[in-house]
Structures are given as structure tokens and as C-alpha cells.
Amino acid sequence: MSALPRSEIAAPAGWTVVEMTAQDIDLVERIERAVYEFPWTAGNFRDSLASGYRCMVCRSGDALAGYAIQMFVIDEAHLLNITIAPEQQGRGHGSRLLHWLMDDARGRGMTSLFLEVRRSNRRAQILYGRLGFSQVGVRRDYYPAHGGREDALIFKTSL
């Protein structure tokens, strides 16, 4: 059995995770706008950096493949945003990045990880289920949606 975190075992050559910097925000925001109908703004990302949240980007070679924002409260991690660039989707980056975040949170003494996902986002729900998350609640009308609001499903996994 290897002592390496799962994310390092599964990562192909040239796949890295590093801390997000202010210089990454323009590209991160472009990816965010390409993926979501109601995207975070550059200000949301700047605020996350300023607040000391765990802001990470993953790269595949020279390309920014995705990013994630996570916060820690006492012994719980809360994943606020995880996004993979459209042209990088379907290559395992989301799974590897989420494994990396779980390993990182565990290493910081976190015992559980929470996240919200749109009720309509079945692809993400399937990924979270595959990685050991289970639904523990619903936040009614949490997300903006065309013609109203959409529920968020709350998922949790033990670390």
C-alpha cells in the first residue's frame, strides 16, 4: 500500500495543484463564466483570497484545468466552489481535484467535508456519490435560476 495521497497516485504527468494567486483570477473568472449561468465574479474570488480560504488551481501541463475554493471551520471543511474548464472536462480532473481537497482537509485536522450542489446537476451528484458523499439535507431556493430559485442539495462525507 502506498503512503501517497490518492490524488498523487492517480495524477498523470504534468498535473499539479497550487495555491491560487491574484494573477489567476482573470482566467478563473473566464472559466467560471463559461461553465455557469450564474457565475461567481472576480470580486468573489478576490474576497475568497482575502478571507484566507483555501483557494487552489489545478493545472494539466500549461493549461489551467480547474479550481476550487474551500473554507475550514473548527473541524469541518466546506467546499464553496469546484469547477473544471469545459475543454478539460471528462478527463478525471474533477475527481482528482476533489480527492486532493479531501486529502488536504484531512491533513489539516478536518473530520468532514460539506458542499452544496444544484438539484439539477446530476453529473456532479454522481461524482460526489462515487467519492463517498451522501445527501444530508436540502437548502430551499438556494441558487438563482431562470424564472426563480433552485434548491441546493447538501452533501457530506467523513474524512
Residue boundaries of the structural domains of the chain: 18-158
- Residue 36 bears catalytic tag: no
Provide the H-helix boundaries in 62-150.
Answer: 93-107, 122-130
| Pairwise CA distance, residues 78 & 71, whole Å | 5
Q: Which CATH class is domain 18-158?
A: alpha beta
Is the pLDDT higher at 154 or at 10?
A: 154
Average pLDDT over residues 36-62: 96
| Pairwise CA distance, residues 126 & 94, whole Å | 12
Question: In terms of pTM, does the model score above 0.75?
Answer: yes
Average pLDDT over residues 50-72: 96
Average pLDDT over residues 53-65: 96
| Residues 145/151, Cβ–Cβ less than 8 Å | no
Q: What rounded mean pLDDT belongs to the chain?
A: 92
| Pairwise CA distance, residues 115 & 26, whole Å | 25
| Pairwise CA distance, residues 125 & 130, whole Å | 9
- Residue 67 bears catalytic tag: no
From the list 116, 142, 143, 150, the catalytic residue is 116
From the list 67, 128, 143, 150, the catalytic residue is 128
